[in-house]
């Protein structure tokens, strides 16, 4: 079949192109512009080459923020993925319980991020917050505004509360799509509960779990609003993750050049990790 | 290994049962003899799969008992019943190799490595899976996967019964023939009770020694393919089996005389009083002949299938199909039909009158 050539079709792409240009390409190019130059205002720029990149990549401050970020993301992935799968496995499969559970699970996902931060801030306050006050009453020396361990604990707990539901919902959808015959065959084959999970449920959930891990990686790696409202990155720099540190540098100190270079490095890390991870997970998919 | 008996078995998926339609199975009584090849035949939704899942223990029946060698197993799980079941769609463990898939039921039962290896290789040989034995199962074609499912059912040599739930649905037509004859061959070789569920009469009649016909949650007839053909005990069996099916015509019974719209009919049946709400005559197209006199019909259409001719006719009692040899000269327009007396049956409320 011959395809007709009609260059006028490009006209239809223009609206999308304009939209993408204004919300992605132009801002990104502005950042690139800042990353290679120095400015003191008045639209006067001086070429700096790769200086800001070298400065960021060699700075202890960036290393520390990156380290905190990686640690945070690993912790929440190791908690949320298994916990999400576990909750999805224990959720009812039919009846009124299904809707009740699904609504309850969706609730945290519907709350705006800064509200989540504010809620947990008040909830965890050591003197008046329910969590903070109870912990202290039970004899724990808990104060997330002053002790970095407590700040981490609270931030992780908040993120688990906020986002585990997403993993639950995705896993649940994956589990529901498994044909009953698989469970029946496993029952007849004498498979243990663990075997059913390991050889039927987990492989069938592979695709949704890949999506869940990717989404949770990206969101947690770029987390900003909730810890900003909860701890503001403190105490000290204890919970200053990459994005919080970036905003401090760009808007607090107005170091636009280094901040722009850091943005690009940050962006590149997220992109690379997602690409590598996705390709690893999907490596064997071509066969089936 | 054992005789399986179902006693007064009924099942409903609903919590309370008011109407006849609320039951998925109604009062099933049947004995499956050890080593038999059975087919469970019926249209979709008649309860075949429910019956199979009750025998295997995946579903607990609402009422009644299941006995394996006179021992009540109604409350036992599938592992304790020691049965094998193959499903409509291939069920394989994606992450395992073909070998591990076949070995899985044995491993779960703690059988020694060497024994597993011998058994799996034997089954793989039988199903022609040897060349792909160490490949990942998820890479196989649909029929390759279904062979694995079959293999997992056959790999244990001590099972009480092997049940097939329309196992060839996903298989290409030419492979269907091969796999079906393979199953038949296997049955003769391992001599184990097999129950084969299908809605395809060809599959049922070629596989089984005994065919169990189900209709609307009940068993309507159990018999050899010949019995089902020559003497259907229920009008459903008459028109479900055979192509085209049995002609069923409303009839009148008066003082032992059976008549089709005024035309007296000769049968072997001796019936005096009629207490049925509906009486019908059943005759297979194969047992009708054209004659000089008899039941007057008009000929509507003649189709030649090569082997024989199928003639559509219409009488005052309704449409009648006739099968005649290809060489037969078919009259045009009006004709008279004779029913073979030995194969003419009378049905009262759908069940045969004897």
Q: Is residue B256 part of a domain?
A: yes
* Percent of chain B residues past pLDDT 70, beyond the cut: 99
Q: In this predicted structure, which of A132-136, B141-145, B171-175, B298-302 has the lowest mean pLDDT?
A: B171-175
**From CA A207, how far away is CA A205, in angstroms rounded?**
6
Is the per-residue pLDDT at B217 higher than 80? Answer: yes
Does A136 fall in a domain?
Answer: yes
Residue A75, domain extent: 60-287
Q: In this structure, is residue B194 part of a structural domain?
A: yes
Q: Per-residue pLDDT tens for B307-323? A: 888 999 998 888 999 99
Pair (B165, B144) in one structural domain? yes
> Across residues A2-23, what is the average pLDDT?
88
> Quick one: B288 and B176 in the same domain?
no
Residues B201 and B276 placed together within one structural domain of the fold: no
Q: Is the residue at A259 inside a domain? A: yes
| Residue whose C-alpha is closest to residue A33's, from A242, A259, A247, A254 | A259
Q: pLDDT tens, A167-177?
A: 999 999 999 99
Q: Is residue B330 domain-resident?
A: yes
Q: Is B93–A204 a contact, with Cβ atoms under 8 angstroms apart?
A: no
Residue A136 has pLDDT above 60, yes or no: yes
Which residue of B lies nearest to A191 if distances are taken between CA atoms?
B108
Which of A188, A192, A204 shows the shortest C-beta gap to B84? Answer: A188
Instruction: Let me know if residue A91 belongs to a domain.
Output: yes
pLDDT of residue A145 exceeding 50 = yes
Closest CA to A231 of A132, A111, A145: A145
Strands B279-283 and B252-254: unpaired
A76 falls in which pLDDT band (50, 70, 90)? very high
User: Virtual CA dihedral for A251, A252, A255, A257, nearest 10 degrees?
Assistant: -30
Same domain for B227 and B259: no
Spatial separation of the C-alpha atoms in residues B164 and B113, rounded to whole Å? 28
Q: Give B81→chain A minimum CA distance, Å.
A: 9
Domain boundary among B235, B263, B286: B235
Domain endpoint, select from B186, B201, B235: B235
| Residues A69, A19: Cα–Cα separation, whole Å | 32
Nearest to A190 among B85, B105, B139 (CB): B105
Q: What is the DSSP letter of B82?
A: T
Q: Is the pLDDT reported for residue B278 higher than 90?
A: no
What percentage of chain A carries pLDDT values higher than 70? Answer: 98
- Please check whether residue A155 lies inside any domain of the structure: yes
pLDDT of B1 > 70? The answer is: no
Check residue A288 and give its pLDDT.
Answer: 39
On whether both B29 and B138 belong to a single domain, the answer is yes
B212 with B300, same domain: the answer is: no
Contact B108 A191 (CB under 8 A): yes
- Is the same domain home to B13 and B136? yes
Which CATH number do you get for residue A204?
1.10.3720.10
Show which of B183, B208, B235 is a domain's final residue. Answer: B235
- What mean pLDDT is predicted for residues A158-179? 94
Nearest to A199 among B77, B83, B93 (CB): B93
Are residues B34 and B115 located together in one domain of the fold? yes
**Per the domain annotation, does B240 fall within a domain?**
no
Counted domains in chain B: 2
Per-residue confidence (pLDDT) for residue A287, from 0 to 100: 44
* Total domains in the fold of chain A: 1
Domain assignment of residue A218, yes or no: yes
Count other C-beta atoms under 10 Å from residue A159's C-beta: 25
3-state SS assignment for residue B27: strand
Find the domain containing B344 and state its range. Answer: 246-353
Beta bridge partners of B10: B63
What letter does residue A91 receive in the DSSP assignment? S
Is residue B241 in some structural domain? Answer: no
Which range among A75-89, B207-221, B269-283 shows the weakest confidence by mean pLDDT? B269-283
Considering the entire predicted model, what is its pTM?
Answer: 0.77
B91 vs A188: CB contact, 8 Å cut-off?
A: no
List the CATH number of the domain containing B229: 3.40.50.300
Nearest to A200 among B53, B93, B108 (CB): B93
**B220/B276 same-domain check:** no
In a domain, A249, yes or no: yes
Mutation to test the B interface, candidates A174, A177, A190, A286, most B Cβ within 10 Å:
A190
Chain B residues within an 8 Å CB radius of A187 = 58, 77-79
- The pLDDT tens digits of the residues spanning A225-273 come to 888 888 888 788 888 898 898 888 888 887 888 888 999 999 999 999 9
Same-domain pairing of B313 and B181: no
Q: What is the pLDDT of residue B236?
A: 92
> What is the edge-to-edge ordering of all strands in the sheet holding B279-283?
B247-250, B279-283, B345-348, B351-353
Contact A207, B103 (CB under 8 A): no
Q: Is B27 within a domain?
A: yes
User: Looking at CA atoms only, how far is residue A163 from chain B in angstroms?
Assistant: 29
Best probe of the B interface among A95, A181, A185, by most B CBs < 10 A, is: A185
Q: Do B155 and B258 reside in the same domain of the chain?
A: no
Task: Kindly report the average pLDDT of chain A as a whole number.
Answer: 89
- Determine the Cα–Cα distance for residues A68 and A65; give it in Å rounded to an integer: 5
- Residue A272 contacts B, CB cutoff 8 Å: no
Domain of residue B269, CATH code: 2.40.50.140
Mean pLDDT across chain B, nearest whole number? Answer: 86
The answer to whether residues B39 and B76 belong to one domain is yes
């Amino acid at each position: 079949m011959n395809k007709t050539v009609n260059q006028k079709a490009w006209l239809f792409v223009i609206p999308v192109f304009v939209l993408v240009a204004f919300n992605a390409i132009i801002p990104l190019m502005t950042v690139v512009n800042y990353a290679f130059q120095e400015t003191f205002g008045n639209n006067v720029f001086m070429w700096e080459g790769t200086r800001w990149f070298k400065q960021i990549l060699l700075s202890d401050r960036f290393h520390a923020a990156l380290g905190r970020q990686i640690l945070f993301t690993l912790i929440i992935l190791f908690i949320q993925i298994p916990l999400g799968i576990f909750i999805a496995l224990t959720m009812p499969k039919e009846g009124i319980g299904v809707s009740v559970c699904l609504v309850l699970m969706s609730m945290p996902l519907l709350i705006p991020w800064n509200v989540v931060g504010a809620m947990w801030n008040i909830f965890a306050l050591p003197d008046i917050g329910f969590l903070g006050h109870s912990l202290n009453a039970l004899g724990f020396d808990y104060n997330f505004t002053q002790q970095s361990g407590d700040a981490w604990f609270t931030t992780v707990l908040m993120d688990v509360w906020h986002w585990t539901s997403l993993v639950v919902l995705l896993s649940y959808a994956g589990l529901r799509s498994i044909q009953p015959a698989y469970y029946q065959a496993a029952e007849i084959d004498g498979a243990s509960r663990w075997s059913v999970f390991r050889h039927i449920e987990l492989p069938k959930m592979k695709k949704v779990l890949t999506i869940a891990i990717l989404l949770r990686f990206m969101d947690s790696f770029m987390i900003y609003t909730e810890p900003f409202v909860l701890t503001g990155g403190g105490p000290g720099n204890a919970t200053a993750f990459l994005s919080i540190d970036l905003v401090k540098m760009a808007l607090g100190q107005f170091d636009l050049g280094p901040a722009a270079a850091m943005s690009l490095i940050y962006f590149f890390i997220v992109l690379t990790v997602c690409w590598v991870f996705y390709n690893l997970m999907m490596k064997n998919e071509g066969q089936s | 290994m054992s005789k399986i008996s179902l006693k007064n078995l009924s099942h409903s998926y609903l919590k309370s049962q008011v109407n006849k339609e609320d039951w998925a199975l109604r009062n099933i009584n049947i004995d499956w003899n050890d080593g038999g090849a059975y087919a469970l035949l019926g249209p979709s939704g008649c309860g075949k799969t429910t019956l199979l899942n009750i025998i295997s223990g995946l579903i607990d029946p609402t009422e009644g008992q299941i006995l394996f060698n006179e021992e009540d197993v109604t409350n036992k799980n599938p592992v304790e019943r020691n049965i094998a079941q193959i499903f409509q769609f291939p069920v394989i463990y994606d992450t395992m190799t073909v070998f591990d898939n076949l070995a899985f039921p044995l491993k779960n039962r703690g059988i020694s490595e060497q024994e597993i290896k011998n058994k799996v290789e034997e089954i793989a040989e039988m199903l022609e899976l040897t060349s792909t034995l160490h490949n990942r199962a998820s890479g196989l074609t649909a029929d390759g996967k279904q062979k694995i499912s079959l293999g997992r059912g056959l790999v244990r040599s001590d099972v009480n019964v092997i049940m097939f739930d329309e196992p060839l649905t996903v298989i290409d037509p030419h492979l269907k023939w091969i796999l079906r004859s393979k199953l038949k061959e296997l049955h003769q070789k391992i001599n184990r009770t097999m129950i084969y569920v299908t809605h395809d009469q060809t599959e049922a009649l070629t596989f089984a020694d005994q065919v169990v016909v189900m209709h609307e949650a009940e068993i309507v007839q159990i018999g050899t393919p010949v019995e089902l053909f020559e003497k259907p005990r229920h009008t459903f069996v008459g028109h479900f089996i055979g192509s085209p099916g049995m002609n069923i015509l409303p009839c009148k019974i008066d003082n032992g005389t059976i008549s089709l719209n005024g035309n007296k009919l000769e049968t072997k049946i001796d019936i005096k009083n009629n207490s049925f709400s509906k009486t019908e005559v059943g005759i297979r197209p194969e047992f009708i002949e054209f004659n000089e006199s008899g039941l007057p019909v008009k000929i509507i259409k003649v189709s030649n299938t090569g082997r024989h001719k199928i003639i559509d006719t219409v009488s005052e009692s309704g449409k009648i199909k006739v099968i005649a040899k290809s060489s037969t000269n078919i009259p045009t327009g009006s004709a008279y039909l004779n029913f073979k007396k030995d194969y003419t049956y009378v049905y009262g409320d759908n069940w045969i009158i004897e």
